[in-house]
Amino acid sequence: MGISNLIFALSLVTAIFLFRRNVLKIKRNIFLGRDVNRSDQSFLRWKTMARVALGQTKMMVKPIAGFLHVIVYAGFVIINIEVLEIIIDGLFGTHRVFSFLGVFYDFLIASFEILALLVLLACVLFFIRRNGLRLKRFAAKEVSGWPKTDANLILVFEVLLMGAFLLMQGADLALQKMGTAYYVEAGSYPVSSYLLFLFEGMSESSVILFERFFWWVHILGIFAFLNYLPYSKHLHIVLAFPNTYYSNLKAKGAFTNMDSVTQEVKLMLDPDADPYATPDPDSSDDIQRFGAKDVTDLNWVQLMNAYSCTECGRCTSECPANQTGKLLSPRKIMMDTRDRLETYGAEIDAGDDQENQRPLLDGYISREELWACTTCNACTDACPINIDPLSIILDMRRYLVMEESAAPNELNMVFTNIENNGAPWQFSAADRLKWKDEL
């Protein structure tokens, strides 16, 4: 085992170790959320995942962006087969260890090259679209600053990775043509054969240097990218799958009925219930607040949603409140939830007291945002990976109303009317059938 194999093995182990640590942290953060049972209907869940995450059906609503996205996605997944070969080569000092596959290897390498070129082009187009076209959903306030840098970094990263891959291939091909020992003649190079001119007139040793350089840039880049994921919206390439699997399968209009409330309401309506009875001591330790003030009041699916959000803004650009200039943006709801959860997790790691923290409500999401929602479900329908911003908005309203009695005044009047007259307006319940006299 040479020194380079050792360095490679060390980088690989470090990359996996760091990634694992971050993944575990994210997992812990997600499960800070309340429990929710999504273990039913597994067949339908697999189907939803296959259709929405794998098949990207909801991306296709915008055909051009959708198509480019499928290229990048398919390219990235398939090119990863090549990464497997690179890892084996890197560990054992072999070169193109899969080349024994013969014609099939030619086919593989050729498709990797074509895909790499397509991914590269798609990313360049995405970059231009994002920075040149001033699309409204990429110009919003919540995606300026770091989120914008993040989005561009991802694209630049992918262009660099694909570029390094193709240059490495080109140098390899040049060496194969020179008959350099160790560089077996294998594979087919429909793209990088056009790069051969770069290495013309170079000495064998300089081409080897280039080949090694791009080989290392490519693989170390992948390791770095892997460890960039946990800090980025790019995490969706992993989480889109569980996210769609565990997504809500009920009709979009069906909001959850809170069981804790059901118990209390039943008690209130039960004439035999003893209002002074001491509460069951066994159940006292799981007393939760009603609704959500902070991330830990949300359920784990909502928290996973937050980590999965790609910040694409498709939800926000369909949101009636946002389109008419209100402060509410469902994308911001998801980004705030993730930001808050990450701070929350970091505080746990640092052993700090959560009490001094800014909670999700008021610290990140304002009441004005929450009260602007029409509960129209346009956001949940638009989200390409079935994220549900509306459920978070509703849970926070529940907290405001049931824990703080902090509904807008007009709504408090509505509540009183419903309680007293069985209608949101101040009409007498006895007049409910009056319309029939007007027939």
Partner 1 sequence: MNYDMNDVKKIHVPTMAELMAKGEQPDVLFWVGCAGSFDDRAKKITKAFVKILNHINYKFAVLGTEESCSGDPAKRAGNEFLFQMQAMANIEVMNAYEVKRIVTTCPHCFNTLKNEYPDLGGHYEVVHHTQLLQSLIDEGRLTVEGGAYKGKKITFHDPCYLGRANEVYDAPRTLIEKLDAELVEMKRCKSKGLCCGAGGAQMFKEPEKGAKDVNIERTEDAIETSAEIIATGCPFCNTMMTDGVKNKEKEEQVKVLDLAEMIAQANDL
Residues at the contact surface with ligand SF4, assessed by CB under 6 A: 309-315, 318-321, 328, 330-331, 334, 373-379, 382-383, 385, 387, 389-390, 393
Distance CA 76, CA 154 (A): 13
Q: Closest distance between partner 1 and the C-beta of residue 331, in Å? A: 17
Distance CA 273, CA 125 (A): 67
Question: Which position among 226, 255, 349, 354 is part of the footprint of partner 1 (CB under 8 A)?
Answer: 255
Q: Closest distance between ligand SF4 and the C-beta of residue 54, in Å? A: 16
266's contact among partner 1, ligand SF4, none, with CB below 5 to 8 A by partner kind, is partner 1
Degrees to nearest 5, angle at CA 148 with 144 and 152: 160
Distance CA 244, CA 236 (A): 11
Tell me which residue has tokens 């076209």. 133
Question: Which position among 211, 294, 311, 318 is part of the footprint of partner 1 (CB under 8 A)?
Answer: 318
Only segment of 37-45, 103-111, 132-140, 422-430 that touches partner 1 (CB under 8 A): 422-430
Distance CA 213, CA 202 (A): 15
> Would you give the DSSP letter of residue 254?
-
Residue of 371, 410, 432, 336 lying closest to 142 (CA atoms): 336
- Decide whether 295 or 328 has the Cβ nearer to ligand SF4: 328
DSSP SS3 for 34 = strand
- Decide whether 112 or 371 has the Cβ nearer to partner 1: 371
Which amino acid would we find at residue 300? W
Question: Which position among 3, 64, 181, 268 is part of the footprint of partner 1 (CB under 8 A)?
Answer: 268
Distance CA 215, CA 218 (A): 5
Burial 367-396 (b: 16+ CB within 10 A, else e): bebbbbbeeeebbbebbbbbbbbbbbbbbb
Q: Closest distance between ligand SF4 and the C-beta of residue 28, in Å? A: 22
41's contact among ligand SF4, partner 1, none, with CB below 5 to 8 A by partner kind, is none
DSSP SS3 for 203 = coil
Q: Closest distance between partner 1 and the C-beta of residue 379, in Å? A: 10
Q: Closest distance between ligand SF4 and the C-beta of residue 387, in Å? A: 4
Interface residues for partner 1 in 201-220 (CB under 8 A)? none
- Decide whether 287 or 430 has the Cβ nearer to partner 1: 430
Distance CA 404, CA 406 (A): 5
- Decide whether 103 or 436 has the Cβ nearer to partner 1: 436
**Per rule CB under 8 A, is residue 182 in the interface with partner 1?**
no
Distance CA 142, CA 271 (A): 52
**Per rule CB under 8 A, is residue 34 in the interface with partner 1?**
no
**Per rule CB under 8 A, is residue 36 in the interface with partner 1?**
no
> Would you give the DSSP letter of residue 246?
T
Between the alpha carbon of residue 147 and those of residues 310, 329, 405, the distances in Å are 10, 15, 35
Question: Which position among 1, 77, 81, 265 is part of the footprint of partner 1 (CB under 8 A)?
Answer: 265
- Decide whether 229 or 312 has the Cβ nearer to ligand SF4: 312
Question: Which position among 323, 349, 352, 358 is part of the footprint of partner 1 (CB under 8 A)?
Answer: 323
Give the number of other CB atoms < 10 A from CB of residue 64.
9
**Per rule CB under 8 A, is residue 408 in the interface with partner 1?**
yes
**Per rule CB under 8 A, is residue 306 in the interface with partner 1?**
no
DSSP SS3 for 319 = coil
- Decide whether 162 or 312 has the Cβ nearer to partner 1: 312
Distance CA 438, CA 425 (A): 20
Q: 298 near 392, Cβ under 8 Å? A: yes
Interface residues for partner 1 in 346-405 (CB under 8 A)? 368, 371-378, 381, 394, 396-402
| Residue 216 token pair | 């290392």
Binding site for partner 1 (CB under 8 A): 250-255, 257-258, 261-262, 264-266, 268-269, 290-291, 318, 320-321, 323-328, 368, 371-378, 381, 394, 396-402, 407-408, 410-411, 413-415, 418-419, 422-425, 427, 429-436, 438-439
